[in-house]
A and B are shown apart, each in its own frame.
Chain A
Amino acid sequence: MQKFEITGHKDTRSGFGEGLLEIGRENQQVVALCADLTGSLKMNAFADEFPDRFFQSGVAEANMVGVAAGLTIGGKIPFTGTFANFSTGRVYDQVRQSIAYSGKNVKLCASHAGLTLGEDGATHQILEDIGLMKMLPGMTVINPCDFNQTKAATVAVGKYNGPVYLRFGRPKVPVFIPEGQEFIIGKALKIFNGSDVSIFATGHLVWEAIQAAQILQERGINADVVNIHTIKPLDETAILESVRKTKCAVTAEEHNYIGGLGESISSVLSRNFPAPLEMVAVKDTFGESGTPDQLMEKYGLKKENIVSAVDKVIARKVNS
């Protein structure tokens, strides 16, 4: 088994900030808007270097989304920045009509997604955003797993023509994706090769999946671990290739099990290659205040939960 080295601990939002600066330097058409969370979104560097291309929008997200859509008329590539909750649920109709239905090239960049936002509690911990965004026709949905992948994804979405929802988080988490690794939208990233079970993970749960796979290997179970950073369009080929080999799957995400990655993969399998599937996800509930670690443990999103899900799904495979 390939060993994944942790090269540091960084927040994925800082990856976004660096990526935004990089694509901003590369392409003058890139502009950015932020709803009074410039520091939280790590957009300061861009705002400082390109003050004419940065629009402070205040606590007025609906307008920010609309202005971003308008900026595309004239060739601009707008990146909006606010928390995940305010990037999606709060402005759903604006995203739907002004961006998705109007086919505008806007990048909705959302930090503080999921439980790992921590102490602020459930008002800010959106666990429904992937579902909301993936249901919109034409919307690309990306949830990178660490600093390096978030940075690379930010640059990649700036080069892609079409609306994108880019979801990342607040806390410092292990950095394990190699710096400079190419990010290909819609192409799953194989982490480990294995033949006993497929583990499909996105966002912060990818590191948990890697750790789970290492625990499982010590017990003689070889997991095929796949990083699904792009939830839409989904890499159905990679998913089916893996499950045709392993005959069972576990999904892992920091999101409600309804509307998330697990549901998308379940749909792919049921339409193409029915196989037992278990989901490691939030079980249709809101979050609460606490440290990120406490919350991930309480809501069952740790490596141990992935291991248990693997045991369960392998038992189902054997019995079926």
Chain B
Amino acid sequence: MKLKRRKYKTKVPHSQAVRLFKSFQHCQAQSAISSTFKADLNQSNFNHSMANSEELKKICSQVRRDIVRMVHAVSSGHPGGSLGCTEFMVALYFEILKHDPAHFEMDGTGQDLFFLSNGHISPVWYSVLARSGYFEVHELATFRKINSRLQGHPTTHEGLPGVRAASGSLGQGLSMAIGAALAKKLNNDGRLVFSLHGDGELQEGQIWEAAMFAAQHKVDNLIATVDWNGRQIDGDVDDVLSLGDLKAKWEAFGWEVLEMDGNNIDNVISVMEKAKSRCGKGIPIVILMITEMGYGVDFMMGTHKWHGVAPNDEQKKAALSQLEETLGDY
């Protein structure tokens, strides 16, 4: 099926995220969107083949099915952010990262590393880890169950391949990613470190400590991405605790800021490639990624209500009817 983008409008007209997003949709000349972002969009289809793009979209559909089925099975977990970040995670694990899923080792020498700071979107991470070969797909059925390696929030404690740090208590992943990036520099390891953060998570002070530190120490082998869906548990980010001018904030902290449409996989790949090309210039890079929480399941979009709520039997059926089974359910 073809997904309809941005079916729902946010309830917060003043949200900066929404303004940015609308401007992207309409390509208005006077929009808040940066010219570099528009250039990326125009180039996006030239950077990789459409066939590959179609394959990645098929993976996305399967990953979304995994997410819905995993959280439904245990009546708990976080589908909203997981669905919204699916294109990003699929692009990362199937296109961007230089990694070796079959031979995971903690130090990741000679490989790109990824840190999920907003650990509650573990369903999407577990799904792409399994689908890209870190562990057997059938293990997804153990998510959040007793004696599982797939804990509610990711952990190294159970030895799950692909996970290098526990996350869940928010705000800690950027510091961890910075440390790993510094270790790569000390080891003359030219590979990169990637991280993903929620927008609500940016309310944690540690993020801004880390932002200062990365600029000070010229951590330029790190690409942080913010899932800018504008929503958190209690409601819209602008209502809960506004992030203000997020682009200006990161820039003021000494970071290079890129923007992308996180639910457009061509654009994700294009902007990620651009971010990689900007590494090594003495400046840390952050990508503000506009997404729609719950993307791909119509009734989960346009609201914060599916942040941490699992669908019931009927809702699962409705959700799966919108998501093609492309690789076979686990």
Contacts of A53 in B (CB 8 A): 186
Contacts of A96 in B (CB 8 A): 169
Contacts of A68 in B (CB 8 A): 179
**Could you tell me the distance between the alpha carbons of A96 and B178 in the complex, rounded to whole angstroms?**
18
**Could you tell me the distance between the alpha carbons of A52 and B187 in the complex, rounded to whole angstroms?**
11
Chain A 43-80 per-residue mask, 1 if CB under 8 angstroms from chain B, else 0: 00000000011011110101111111111111110100
Contacts of A62 in B (CB 8 A): 171-172, 175, 205-206, 209
Q: Does A103 contact B (CB under 8 A)?
A: yes
Q: Are B183 and A74 in contact (CB under 8 A)?
A: yes
Kindly identify, within residues 102 to 148 of chain B, every residue whose CB is under 8 Å from any CB belonging to chain A: 106-109, 113, 115
Contacts of A64 in B (CB 8 A): 175
Q: Does B164 contact A (CB under 8 A)?
A: yes
**Could you tell me the distance between the alpha carbons of A52 and B186 in the complex, rounded to whole angstroms?**
8
Q: Does B184 contact A (CB under 8 A)?
A: yes
Our pick among B175, B186, B189 for the contact of A66 (Cβ within 8 Å) is: B175
Q: Does A98 contact B (CB under 8 A)?
A: yes
Q: Are B166 and A102 in contact (CB under 8 A)?
A: yes
Q: Does B315 contact A (CB under 8 A)?
A: no
Instruction: Describe A's contact surface by its main secondary structure.
Output: helix
Kindly identify, within residues 92 to 121 of chain A, every residue whose CB is under 8 Å from any CB belonging to chain B: 93-94, 96-98, 101-104
Tell me whether A101 and B179 are in contact in the complex, defined as CB-CB below 8 angstroms, given that A62-B209, A73-B164, A75-B187 are known contacts. Answer: no
**Could you tell me the distance between the alpha carbons of A33 and B109 in the complex, rounded to whole angstroms?**
22
Q: Are A73 and B206 in contact (CB under 8 A)?
A: no
Tell me whether A75 and B183 are in contact in the complex, defined as CB-CB below 8 angstroms, given that A63-B175, A98-B165 are known contacts. Answer: yes
**Could you tell me the distance between the alpha carbons of A37 and B328 in the complex, rounded to whole angstroms?**
56
Tell me whether A73 and B166 are in contact in the complex, defined as CB-CB below 8 angstroms, given that A58-B212, A62-B175, A98-B172 are known contacts. Answer: no
Interface size on A, residues (CB 8 A): 33
Task: Quote the shortest CB–CB distance from A87 to chain B (angstroms).
Answer: 15
Chain A 259-277 per-residue mask, 1 if CB under 8 angstroms from chain B, else 0: 0000000000000000000
Task: Quote the shortest CB–CB distance from B118 to chain A (angstroms).
Answer: 13
Q: Are B108 and A73 in contact (CB under 8 A)?
A: yes
Q: Does A141 contact B (CB under 8 A)?
A: no
Tell me whether A102 and B213 are in contact in the complex, defined as CB-CB below 8 angstroms, given that A73-B179, A74-B109 are known contacts. Answer: no
Q: Does A139 contact B (CB under 8 A)?
A: no
Contacts of B174 in A (CB 8 A): 66
Contacts of B210 in A (CB 8 A): 63, 66-67
Q: Are B175 and A67 in contact (CB under 8 A)?
A: yes
**Could you tell me the distance between the alpha carbons of A311 and B285 in the complex, rounded to whole angstroms?**
66
**Could you tell me the distance between the alpha carbons of A65 and B186 in the complex, rounded to whole angstroms?**
18
Q: Does B182 contact A (CB under 8 A)?
A: yes
Q: Does A31 contact B (CB under 8 A)?
A: yes
**Nearest B residue (CB) for A59:** B209
**Could you tell me the distance between the alpha carbons of A56 and B218 in the complex, rounded to whole angstroms?**
13
Which of B175, B178, B180 has the most chain A CB atoms closer than 10 A to its own CB?
A: B175
Tell me whether A69 and B169 are in contact in the complex, defined as CB-CB below 8 angstroms, given that A76-B183, A94-B206, A103-B156 are known contacts. Answer: no
Tell me whether A98 and B175 are in contact in the complex, defined as CB-CB below 8 angstroms, given that A74-B108, A75-B107, A103-B156 are known contacts. Answer: yes
**Could you tell me the distance between the alpha carbons of A72 and B179 in the complex, rounded to whole angstroms?**
8
Tell me whether A73 and B107 are in contact in the complex, defined as CB-CB below 8 angstroms, given that A67-B175, A103-B156 are known contacts. Answer: yes
Q: Are A98 and B176 in contact (CB under 8 A)?
A: yes
**Nearest B residue (CB) for A94:** B172
Q: Are A70 and B155 in contact (CB under 8 A)?
A: no
Contacts of B164 in A (CB 8 A): 73
- Which B residues are closer than 8 A to A by beta carbons? 106-109, 113, 115, 155-157, 164-169, 171-184, 186-187, 189, 205-206, 209-210, 212-213, 216-217
| 21 contacting pairs across A/B (C-beta < 8 A) | A58-B216, A60-B212, A62-B172, A62-B175, A62-B205, A63-B209, A63-B212, A64-B175, A66-B174, A67-B175, A67-B179, A67-B182, A70-B165, A73-B179, A74-B107, A74-B108, A98-B165, A98-B172, A102-B157, A102-B165, A103-B157
A-B interface, 5 closest residue pairs, ranked by CB to CB distance from nearest: A70-B179, A66-B175, A74-B183, A63-B209, A60-B209
Beyond A78-B179, A94-B206, 4 additional pairs, beta carbon < 8 A: A63-B178, A63-B212, A71-B180, A101-B155
